[in-house]
Amino acid sequence: MSTNLHQAGVKLLKQLARHADVVMDVYQAGELNETDQDRAVIDKLQNAGILWRPEPEQPLRLKRTVRAFLEEALSDERNRQIDANVGSAMATIKTLAEHYKEARHRVDFSAAEAYLADLNEHVYAFTESLRYAIRVLWGRINNEFGYVGTLNAKIRENELAQSQVTELLNGLEMFQFNELTELSGDTRELRKLLVTTLQDTLSNCAQELSVVQARLLELLGRFRQIRGRTRLLKGWLLHTDLHPDYRPQDHVAHKQVPVLFNRAEGILAPAAVDVHNSVHELELLDLVARIKSITRLPDTPKVAQGDVAVALADAGEFDVPDNPLKQAVDDYFCAVIDSGMRQSALEYLECRALPWDAESWLYQVICGYDGLTEEYRSFFELEPIGEPHPVYTGNFIIRDVELWMA
């Protein structure tokens, strides 16, 4: 059986090599012009399964397998067919794995080897189809769907590619590797093929498909933006055709230029001093000095004096007089300590007939209390007396304060 299969394959390849011109003509034209070719050659290609006729009245075309082989070998960017049927491939892989395990259990090594080879072929064909689909998608993105002529066609092709990416991602989610691990069991060949190889390949393909999806969305947004601007321009041209006497107003004379016409940046940027540039430091200091200087009086030339001897001596003692208001607050604190009673600050101010107004006095009493150290402040208690603001909530109006010993 293998000998007959080998001979049939060699015969088919020889047919392709012998009639390569006819095959490529059909591939490029999409159909065969039977009047320009020899009838015997056509019959041979039909019998070999290279050409086929879809309907009795239809011209001859290439078989889908032969066309797919040429598209893959030639990296033809016109190929937009992607196999997104992941469920069928998964079911086939699981079925072949069960056949292989059963053959090993029956100690039928020849059948097990055949099933394992078939399983390898299906797994690697599936992973190669995924990589091929990703290459096709990247080819569309890098070419910006250049195989179609109109912008609407580009948008439709982009939406088709996005649907195919979504189907591929949804199909990859069907692979449950815990099930494949249980299916592989302790068989080393199955674990290597279904868990290690397949999981690494699907993980890389899923990541790359996510990147492809993001690029497709970005490209779709750009296409729609171009289409919107094109529609705007076509609408403007239609308006000018319907109203030939239309003359736009002088937009330069307006105070506010419409955004549609104000597309250019300002030629001259607004002037500003770069205070961070150290090269201009001297010029800036000179300008500042001139601004602060008084120029109403004529400048008198200053005569440089000679060297003056400086004698260093001990500085004399001097006293800094205390602030009278602060001193009065200290006396108020001492009076509270001596009496040991609760005492109002305003009553103390009136009783002693001090010369300061009530507001300054209360401020100084509060500051004197807050200025004490934590140790001394713990000996006193200060309570503000007043009422909340009638209009603005959260504000408290202090009318008086009372101080007493804690």
Average pLDDT over residues 294-311: 60
| Average predicted confidence (pLDDT) for the chain | 81
Which of residues 80 and 40 earns the better pLDDT score?
A: 40
Contact in structure between 36 and 59 (CB atoms under 8 Å)? no
| Own/partner long-range contacts of 65-69 (Cβ < 8 Å, ≥24 apart) | 66/16, 66/23, 67/27
For the segment 121-141, the average pLDDT, to the nearest whole number, is 85
DSSP state of 107: T
The per-residue pLDDT for range 237-276, each reduced to its tens digit, is 999 899 988 887 777 777 777 777 777 776 777 777 777 8
Indicate if the pLDDT at residue 1 is higher than 50. Answer: no
Region label for 353, one of left (φ > 0), alpha (ψ between -120 and 50) or beta (otherwise): left
Query: Burial level of 70, CB count in 10 A (0-12/13-18/19+)?
Result: middle
Between CA 141 and CA 147, with CA 145 as vertex, the angle to 5 degrees is 140
Tens of pLDDT, residue by residue over 355-371, are 888 888 888 888 888 88
Residue 141 clears pLDDT 60, i.e. is over it = yes
Q: What is the pLDDT of residues 47-100, one digit of tens each?
A: 888 887 776 776 787 877 777 777 777 766 555 566 666 777 888 888 888 888
Lowest mean pLDDT among 26-35, 310-319, 372-381: 310-319
d(CA 201, CA 175): 12
Angle formed by the axes of helices 2-18 and 20-29, nearest 10°: 70
280 close to 274: Cβ distance less than 8 angstroms = yes
Provide DSSP, 309-365: -----PPPP---PPPHHHHHHHHHHHHHHHH-S-EEHHHHHHHHT-SS-HHHHHHHH
Q: What per-residue confidence (pLDDT) applies to 28? A: 78
Q: What is the pLDDT of residues 211-221, one digit of tens each?
A: 999 999 999 99
* Contact yes or no for 404/342 (Cβ under 8 A): yes
* Calpha distance 64→67 (Å, rounded): 5
Q: Is the pLDDT of residue 191 over 80?
A: yes
Read off the pLDDT of each residue in 24-31 and give the average, rounded to a whole number: 78
How far from each other are the two terminal CA atoms of the chain, in whole angstroms?
112
CB atoms within 10 A of CB 94: 15
Q: Quick check: 380 and 333 in contact, CB under 8 A? A: yes
Q: What is the token pair recorded at 196?
A: 């290690």
293 — pLDDT class (breaks 50, 70, 90): low
Listed range (18-22, 26-30, 263-267, 346-350) with the worst mean pLDDT: 263-267
% of the chain exceeding 90 in pLDDT: 7
pLDDT in the model for residue 294: 59
Predicted local distance difference test score (pLDDT) of residue 307: 56
**What's the 3-state SS for 14-79?**
HHHHHCHHHHHHHHHHCCCCHHHCCHHHHHHHHHCCCEECCCCCCCCEECHHHHHHHHHHHCCCCC
CA angle 40, 41, 43 (to 5 degrees): 65
> Which of 26, 8, 17, 122 lies closest to 67, judged by CA?
26
